[in-house]
Amino acid sequence: MNTWMLTEAGWSMAWTLVDSGADANFMSHAWASKYFSKAEGKPKVVEAVDNHKIKSYEQQRAAMKIINDEHILQEGFHHFEEADISGYDIILGMPWLEAANPDINWV
């Protein structure tokens, strides 16, 4: 799924995974370094999908919108833990799912 994130370069597309098993929202550290010069907070230890501990770099607060067929499905500000993740730029976890409560067509 593609989402659009408001970055210092304007609206930038991010390859995104929705993960109901993630206790936080995550942003790839490599992607964040490309689009943001500043971050919030301090590094901390977070739990990865397989229950092992990983270090987050800092946190980002960013505006995000999900667009489907030129219609905005969901938009708002969200917090993300910057971490070394691969395969996706953004992982939307339970904080996003609880805030957005999206209608999901599983078929």
How confident is the chain (107 residues) per 10-residue block, as mean pLDDT?
A: 88 92 91 88 77 82 80 81 92 90 76
Report yes or no: 45 and 55 within 8 Å, Cβ to Cβ: yes
The CATH number of whichever domain residue 63 belongs to comes to: 2.40.70.10
Report the pLDDT value the prediction gives residue 49, as an integer from 0 to 100: 66
**In which domain, by residue range, is 32 found?**
2-100
pLDDT at residue 69, rounded to an integer: 66
What's the confidence (pLDDT) of residue 16? 92
pTM, two decimal places: 0.85
The CA radius of gyration of the chain, in Å to the nearest whole number, is 13
Q: Which pLDDT belongs to residue 12?
A: 93
Residue 97 to residue 49: CA distance in whole angstroms: 16
| Number of structural domains in the chain | 1
Question: What is the spatial distance between Cα 35 and Cα 33, in angstroms, rounded to a whole number?
Answer: 6
Q: Residue 105: inside a domain, yes or no?
A: no
